Amino acid sequence: MKFAVVVFPASNCDRDMYHAVKDVLQEEADLVWYQNSNLENYDGILLPGGFSYGDYLRPGAVASTSDIMQQIKTHAEKGKPVLGVCNGFQVLTEARLLPGALLRNKNLAFMCHQEPLVVANAATKFTSGYEQGEIVRFPIAHGEGNYYCDDETLEELKANQQIVFTYQNNPNGSAGDIAGIINKEGNVLGMMPHPERAMEALIGSDDGLRLFRSMVENWRETYAANA
């Protein structure tokens, strides 16, 4: 499986994402600059964390209007996997690939620590390697991670089982304790915690490894079925 790690101006977790896929997962990966890049030959798209365009206007707002986003939307429409982490999640909501918005944390402070999460839906292309209701630990590192949506959207997310991860302790005030959601089609995941920083037990947790393995294994099953 070949991944594109999309790099915007002021992305700062792109190297972490690249290391997770290339060195730990041992799959193909390229760092892809947002300008004049062709995503056609990539099987998965990864939008890393950081402060794209310095969070000008709103986090992810400017990046969501860049030319490469049309390619990412086309990629998603074909059913290929797209993962947006932290700022990548913000970009996905700003581009309307996922519903809702990310607001300032309830304490108005930047938070950076490991956080226990609940696997709320283990039946997705991203979470099939987990058990339903399992507690995992991923780092968080954000100032605007407070997921917001209106009540109608929240009920729709619940009804469609689009809530993939929830916070056990909800550090940022997110509606429904939401830490990560998928689109209705199930191939676009946005989440604030960082699975790419939870790939090796040596640095505190390897719970993120199964997320990337799930992506690869599900892609290979789909690829084999269509071959």
Residues marked as catalytic: 86, 194, 196
Provide the residue type at 42 as one letter: Y
Contact 157, 184 (CB under 8 A): no
Per the DSSP assignment, residues forming a β-bridge with 200 are 205
Structure-token match 């099939």, residue found? 128
Pairing of the two strands 44-47 and 188-191: unpaired
Contact 195, 212 (CB under 8 A): yes
Per the DSSP assignment, residues forming a β-bridge with 6 are 32
* 221 contacts: CB under 8 Å, gap ≥ 6: none
Q: What are phi and psi of 51, to 5 degrees?
A: -135, 60
